[in-house]
Amino acid sequence: MSLLVIGSLGLDTVETPFGTVENAIGGTAVYCSVSASHFTQVNLVGVIGEDFPSTEIAFLRSRGIDLDGLEIKPGKSFSWGGRYGFDLNSRDTLFTHLNVFETFNPRIPEKYRDTPFIFLGNIGPDLQLSVLEQISKPQLVALDTMNYWIERTPAELARVLKRVDVLLVNDSEMRQLSGEHNLLKAARQVRAMGPKIIVVKKGEHGAIMITDGRFFYAPAFPLENVFDPTGAGDTFAGGFMGYLTKCRRIDEAALRQAIIYGSTFASFVVEDFSIGRLRHLREDEIRTRFINFHEMTKFLKPWEE
Amino acid sequence: MSLLVIGSLGLDTVETPFGTVENAIGGTAVYCSVSASHFTQVNLVGVIGEDFPSTEIAFLRSRGIDLDGLEIKPGKSFSWGGRYGFDLNSRDTLFTHLNVFETFNPRIPEKYRDTPFIFLGNIGPDLQLSVLEQISKPQLVALDTMNYWIERTPAELARVLKRVDVLLVNDSEMRQLSGEHNLLKAARQVRAMGPKIIVVKKGEHGAIMITDGRFFYAPAFPLENVFDPTGAGDTFAGGFMGYLTKCRRIDEAALRQAIIYGSTFASFVVEDFSIGRLRHLREDEIRTRFINFHEMTKFLKPWEE
């Protein structure tokens, strides 16, 4: 089994109260594919410029990530700059240079066309749709989007959502997309648009998965030092989709474990800038943190007193 | 085993987007003792005026709540008015009339003095301390407080906290009390002040309990219609303390179940104005919702795939 990941790759400049990093690799496809690579083989689709460090390309390859779908174009890579305030919950975007990403038109290599699991990172819904049209028979399609597309291209977004199984959004996007403040009502609206599995990412408040009338709640891992929240959502998506791909089945039990793996990877990535913490992440660290999540949420039923 | 509850009793006027209620019974001691009464005998300490409806006194008595500690004074009862906005997360206080509560000086009846479990509702820390000094040998003391006391009477609060086992606060009070934004660091500070068990109430984001280096996360129950959030925190405290009193033991397993019972009762009380939903709450409804909490949070460990 393999997972196709499409999304941005870029060079990020990030300021937090704890330090600054310049031109560190980032972008949805980087965070997502590196975390997913712990579970499965990833086919990556994206575009970079000539300034993208070849050492980083080598690193992605060392994770078993197939880069035949990665275009290298003349010019500069997508580049983003942001600054976080002290509570790390809000950030200011300092600059966004689309560069080679501006004319990105994803072409799916022939050998990727039967990839069963698909993650459509947060790009224009028209591009997300064009990717789906190049895939022969996807088994599970997950999509991330944001307020920008919900506001500006609602018709295109509605079209792609019809073909999506899993929607990953944050709580404000969920409310905006559905026009409902209440999460139960919002979930009903969004499920009627297409995706039957909804994952609401709530940052420090954890994540909620809503399937057919069922809710699953996962906390965020309590960390003494959150260093840089950039990429937490994409890393979550990578752990979630990577695990499902490895599992090959999409039942409630596997989905719940996937949410916990997503939360696990997200809790690691924020401990350092960029993908620093993911570079040498060991399987026993992942397993221990997963078990910590279990420990933090378990309780006895009334008759087990 | 019995539970002593001290706190306000009053008449609330509440406006929400869904309706208005005038002079409905409310106050910490009402919400807390009514929910705790599902588990244990409650000894109530508080003060009311002559306008407090005798039918409501009869209702409290019908719940097995001992009212020998309830003073009835000439004058009017404590009275509060508030208005909630559409998202129910923020509210404006329209008026607060302390009335007979202004000169409240809790006297603990002789027969209450060996009550083993104590809940000190959110009143001045000097009054909370004076209650403790009238109790011979409490087994477990829980305390609620608020920003008002943290800002204005920090020395008195510090004195009473030294004698407290469980602190119940919301997340902003936790940060204010500790001077730390990060929850782990804040918990370390607060535990050094006295209480070894910290319960952080986060409203729609659930609750976190921190004991000796251990975290426990409980979600809030997803409700399609939250009608009136007034009293949710006090009702939580009642379910939590009531269950612990019934259990007679204070180990991690009992504490976790107590958190879920607290969350269960809180999820009921917000479904109607005042204590409307608690009046005829059935044991099977409580049990079903508790089990729903279990269902919403459980997942398999890695080796149970």
- Residue B260 with chain A: CB contacts under 8 Å: 299
Q: Are residues A253 and B301, on separate chains, in Cβ contact within 8 Å?
A: no
User: Which CATH architecture best describes the domain B2-299?
Assistant: 3-Layer(aba) Sandwich (3.40)
pLDDT of residue B20: 95
pLDDT value at A137 more than 70? yes
Q: Is A77:A52 a contact under the CB 8 Å cutoff?
A: yes
pLDDT per residue over B260-270, tens digit each?
999 999 999 99
Q: How far is B183 from chain A (nearest CA, A)?
A: 8
pLDDT per residue over B25-76, tens digit each?
999 999 999 999 999 999 999 999 999 999 999 999 999 999 999 999 999 9
Q: Are residues B299 and A225, on separate chains, in Cβ contact within 8 Å?
A: no
pLDDT value at B17 more than 90? no
pLDDT value at A201 more than 80? yes
pLDDT per residue over A168-177, tens digit each?
999 999 999 9
pLDDT of residue B63: 98
Q: Looking at the complex, does the CB of residue B301 fall below 8 Å from at least one CB of chain A?
A: yes
Q: Are residues B247 and A305, on separate chains, in Cβ contact within 8 Å?
A: yes
Provide the whole-model pTM: 0.96
Q: What's the mean per-residue pLDDT of chain A?
A: 96
Model confidence at A167, pLDDT cuts 50, 70, 90, reads very high
SS3 content of chain B, % helix, strand, coil (to 5): 40, 25, 35
- Residue B222 with chain A: CB contacts under 8 Å: 183-184, 208, 215
pLDDT per residue over B214-270, tens digit each?
999 999 999 998 899 999 999 999 999 999 999 988 999 999 999 999 999 999 999
Helix (H, G, I), strand (E, B) or coil at A270: coil
Structure-model confidence comparison of residues A305 and A262, the more confident one: A262
Rounded to 5°, angle at Cα B203 from B286 and A232: 115
pLDDT of residue B273: 96
Which of B229, B277, B263 lies closest to B86, judged by CA? Answer: B229
Which of A168, A227, A204 lies closest to A7, judged by CA? Answer: A168
Q: Looking at the complex, does the CB of residue A162 fall below 8 Å from at least one CB of chain B?
A: no
Q: Which residues have CB under 8 Å from B198's CB, separation 6+?
A: B166, B167, B169, B174, B187, B190, B191, B209, B210, B211
- Residue A299 with chain B: CB contacts under 8 Å: 216, 218, 253, 256-257, 259-260, 294, 297
Q: Are residues A296 and B222, on separate chains, in Cβ contact within 8 Å?
A: no
pLDDT of residue B305: 65
pLDDT per residue over A81-122, tens digit each?
999 987 777 889 999 999 999 999 999 999 999 999 999 999
pLDDT value at B196 more than 90? yes
pLDDT per residue over A283-299, tens digit each?
999 999 999 999 999 99
pLDDT per residue over B136-191, tens digit each?
999 999 999 999 999 999 999 999 999 999 999 999 999 999 999 899 999 999 99
pLDDT value at A305 more than 70? no
Structure tokens at A283: 């399987």
Classify B27 in phi/psi space as left (phi over 0), alpha (psi -120 to 50) or beta: left
Distances (CA, A) of B302 to A41, A83, A223, A284, A294: 20, 37, 22, 12, 10
pLDDT of residue B179: 94
pLDDT value at A225 more than 90? no
Q: Looking at the complex, does the CB of residue A199 fall below 8 Å from at least one CB of chain B?
A: no
B-interface mutation test, from A84, A89, A171, A217, most B Cβ less than 10 A away: A217
List A residues 203-222 in contact with B (Cβ-Cβ < 8 A).
205-206, 208, 214-219, 222
Dist. CA A164–CA A156, nearest whole Å: 13
Helix (H, G, I), strand (E, B) or coil at B44: strand
- Searching chain A, which residue's CA lies closest to the CA of residue B227? A182
Report the run of H or E that residue B110 belongs to, with start and end. Answer: none
What fold, for A2-297? UDP-N-acetylmuramoyl-L-alanine:D-glutamate ligase (3.40.1190)
